[in-house]
Amino acid sequence: MNINKSLLISLPLAIAALVSTATHAQTEQEKGFEIAARSDRTDLGFGDSKVEAKMVLRNAAGQETTRELRFNTLEKENEDVGDKSLVFFQTPRDVEGTALLSHAKILEPDDQWLYLPALKRVKRISSRNKSGPFVGSEFAFEDFTTTELNKFTYKYLREEPCGEFTCDVVEREPRYENSGYTKQISYIDQQDYQPRKLEFYDRRGDLLKVLSFSNYKKYDNGVWRAHTLNMENVQTNKKTDLIYEEYTFKTGLGNNDFVKGKLSRLR
């Protein structure tokens, strides 16, 4: 039998190439994590931040209530721990002085304390109660600490248009116990690697809420911030908007500014 010598040479090379491709091909889980990690790491290096914001609550009939608040954040030391954050309400009078302190964890329950000025006491938020609404808004206590990369497992789903961008669509499932969500689906743009939309699915697996991010600004330190967040509860038709002013970074905040003993003394 006359066998072409070039075929004998090229066939093993082709097989080797196929094996190599199969070996190095990303799984859906690896690609999902890579996309999420790239997005998360655009936020590294800000140190600490302060920002004033307005919270607008809309009920199903469209009636509005407005609150003014501020956010202080201390950046995590590494990806094995989480950020520390403080939310403080300034107006209106019925919530003035209310404060939420959060120490985000990865797989352990987050540490969260709520100061209620009417009761003049600090209340620790139970790990089983973090899916509850925060001060009547469509944001849950859990939503303030779920930005940490390693809190989730990931799976790449697809790419699709999202507004003026093309987004990678990634499913993430909580690794931590007592989450109020079975999964979340994030839409991360391929240009700036920022989240544009996040869908939350409840414990029954039904779509519960949709969070939209807009009015992004890239600051001089290279960090991106969305200045408008719109959270819509698709089951109740209630909505909450968070509208942020300009951020300031590296303001000198430290660990001592994020201790529960100071909650009752905030002004």
Instruction: Please give the Cα distance from 175 to 9 (Å, whole number).
Output: 49
**Among 232, 263, 254, 251, residue whose Cα is nearest residue 115:** 263
Structural element, H or E, at residue 34: helix 28-40
pLDDT > 70 in the chain, percent: 91
At 90, the amino acid letter reads Q
* pLDDT value of position 100: 95
Instruction: Please give the Cα distance from 56 to 92 (Å, whole number).
Output: 12
Instruction: Please give the Cα distance from 263 to 101 (Å, whole number).
Output: 8
- Give the length of the chain: 267
Q: What are phi and psi of 129, to 5 degrees?
A: -120, 15
* pLDDT value of position 79: 82
Q: Quick one: 37-265 is in which CATH superfamily?
A: Lipoprotein localisation LolA/LolB/LppX (2.50.20.10)
| Banded model confidence at residue 8, pLDDT cuts 50, 70, 90 | very low
For 123-128, what is the mean pLDDT? 86
45 pLDDT more than 50: yes
| Banded model confidence at residue 219, pLDDT cuts 50, 70, 90 | very high
Domain ranges of the chain: 37-265
Bond before 117 cis per omega within 30 degrees: no
Handedness of CA 255, 261, 262, 263 (dihedral sign): positive
121-137 in b/e form (b: 16+ CB < 10 A) is ebeebebeebbeebbeb
| Banded model confidence at residue 4, pLDDT cuts 50, 70, 90 | low
For 178-197, what is the mean pLDDT? 96
